[in-house]
Amino acid sequence: MSLSSMNAHKLVHLDLKGAAPRIEYLQVLFPFLKKFGATGLLVEYEDMFPYSGPLEELAQRYAYSKDNIGEFLQLAKDNCLTVIPLIQTFGHFEFVLKHEKFRSLCELEGYPSALCPSNPDSLTAISMIIDQVVDAHPAIQHLHIGGDEVYHLGVCDRCKKKMVMENLTVQQLFFSHVRAVCLYIKDKYPHLTIIMWDDMLRFLELPILAESGLGNLVEIMIWHYLPSFLLPPDIWDRFSKVFPNIWVASAFKGATGACMYATNIMYHIDNHLTWLSVLERVKSKFENIRGIAVTGWQRYDHYAVLCELLPQALPSLVTCLSVIYRGTFTADIHSHVTQQLKFQGLLPLNPFDGKDIPICDFPGSDIYTDTIELLRLESAYEDFLHSEGRLSWMNEYHMRRNFTNPMHLEALLAQAVRLLSGLKQLHKKFQTSLKAIYFPDTVDEWCSVYLNPKIEKMTDIVELARNQDRNSGLQT
């Protein structure tokens, strides 16, 4: 089954809570997305939105300006891409709760993941965020309110007291907050269709779901990123009786490990093929399957390190969009994507296989090839560090005591120097490729997390070994 045959939206998720691209990159990215069948963008601004007034401190140093948002929206319009902002309104609220001004809204003191639904100031803060985002997006028809992974709920004294006084379960406390957010939006912006994630609802029994009152307020977006589905088998029957219109969400990156930096495309192809099979089976249960959001997470939460960068994962994204559009994955589709991305040789579907660095040309392809080179260098680096020779004859303990055998050390040092030189050269290449697309904070974080520790480690080893050489009279 092809989602295109159902006239459903194909949304590309832009997770901007890490490695937000410069507007100049979006100028070449958006036409690319349109070319491969995308019809919209699910945009999670988080701290990249230009909040003002009482919310001013929520905007990070390199946040988009109001003019940038205008450019963003015009680019989307020019490429026939619907924009749906995603605003977290319950869990994943770290970018707000980390600030001293808003810490009193935490459900669990000292843990900024979720806000307290019983604190009246919580809805006030959310309302201000919603107002500013909606005001900056006058043409939108949909608003996503998040609502996923609320890990702390009903644990603070205020919530416990409310649950006792109003005879509420934890689930009903969740419903109460979501309803309050939705009713605020419905009252002030009646033209907006509200979307929320499904995971806080997916295991609830039908009577509880029906009594939640959410069926008339939201359309749920059911997310699942694994190739083999682990959703409750009766989820479609339960949801169809409460939510006549649904969305689904797959992933093209950012779903295989919080510090994974290279994308296994085949993993995500399998996820999409499974989704297409499931939707074909369950589509008759719903009035409408509105569309699919192809998510690309940039951090697992506000405090996690950056994972797979968007340009690096672009081959995965366009392959997944092609699978959605065609309803299958074939050798012809693989060949077509290869040609469109100008790969010399077939697009590798698993970057962990093979040793060659691919040659290709697409928006941000330098970051893609640099990442594959990093993958290869990291493998060589780990092999060297844990090799028997290095651990036996180039051990730091012995080198600090000038207790080494030149016969073995000389060859190991040459190997270490080559690795260090390769890492330093790759660092320079990343500096260039990243600066062309990203702001300085992203460049610094990426290099500091994924390159600098390896360079520092190899530098220490080389310097120790060279000191041995000088003391032993060897020439290096």
Positions marked catalytic = 149
Q: In whole angstroms, what is the distance from residue 293 CA to residue 38 CA? A: 10
Q: In whole angstroms, what is the distance from residue 63 CA to residue 79 CA? A: 23
Strands 245-253 and 288-296: parallel
Alpha-carbon torsion angle 366, 368, 374, 377, nearest 10: -90
Residue 57 sits at φ, ψ, to 5 deg, of: -70, -10
DSSP lists the bridge partners of residue 221 as 197, 247
Structure tokens at 350: 């698993």
Residue 425 sits at φ, ψ, to 5 deg, of: -65, -40
Structure tokens at 473: 């009279």
DSSP lists the bridge partners of residue 10 as 292
Nearest to 74, CA basis, from 157, 136, 148, 144: 136
Check if the beta carbon of residue 110 is closer than 8 Å to that of residue 150. no
Q: How many CB atoms lie within 10 A of CB 230?
A: 6
Q: In whole angstroms, what is the distance from residue 357 CA to residue 223 CA? A: 33
| Residue entry with tokens 């220490």 | 460
DSSP state of 161: H
Q: In whole angstroms, what is the distance from residue 93 CA to residue 301 CA? A: 9
Nearest to 39, CA basis, from 119, 142, 113: 142
Q: In whole angstroms, what is the distance from residue 294 CA to residue 252 CA? A: 6
Residue 448, C-beta contacts closer than 8 angstroms, at least 6 positions apart: none
**Position 265: which residue type?**
I
| Residue entry with tokens 């749906």 | 84
Structure tokens at 274: 């499974």
Nearest to 10, CA basis, from 45, 47, 38, 31: 38
Sign of CA dihedral 256, 262, 263, 267: negative
| Residue entry with tokens 């169809």 | 240
Residue 365, C-beta contacts closer than 8 angstroms, at least 6 positions apart: 311, 314, 341
